[in-house]
Amino acid sequence: MLDHLGRDFLRAIRHALGRVLQGWLIGLLAGALIAEVAGFFVEGDWPRRAFVHVAAIALAVTLSYAIAVTVAMVEGVRGMMAAATQLDDVAKVAANAGLGVIDAAVDAVDGPNRHGIR
């Protein structure tokens, strides 16, 4: 059980890091492209001033960070939901086993089918 849990955990971490890296890269490219295109339309030609390129880098870094953090938060929530689902399944199995023991004990005292637990 612990080996299975460890493999699932590592697979989920790998998946989440891949998604964060993908979001970061998309944000980096989109931010740089948006700022450079905006500079092109403002100046009417390819931007010659360094300010436009510095602004493009700043926007790219900011947008990539925002997207990466958002993706990380979404993946974290998905992970918590998956963990809660697995805990719910384990609790159901444990509760059914416990009810079986209680049912057998009550049957031994009162006789079968007289208590209505199940």
pLDDT digits (tens, 9 = 90+) for 37-60: 988 888 888 878 888 889 899 999
* pLDDT at 78 > cutoff 70: yes
Mean residue pLDDT of the chain comes to: 83
* pLDDT at 96 > cutoff 80: no
Q: For residue 63, what are the contacts with CB-CB under 8 A and spacing of at least 6?
A: 27, 28, 30, 31, 34
Q: What's the pLDDT band for 113 if we cut at 50, 70, 90?
A: low
Of the given ranges (59-68, 91-100, 106-115), which has the lowest mean pLDDT?
106-115
Q: What's the pLDDT band for 21 if we cut at 50, 70, 90?
A: very high
Percentage of the chain beyond pLDDT 90 is 35
> Quick one: pLDDT at residue 95?
76
> Quick one: pLDDT at residue 83?
79
pTM: 0.68
Closest CA to 24 of 57, 68, 58, 63: 68
Q: What's the pLDDT band for 24 if we cut at 50, 70, 90?
A: very high
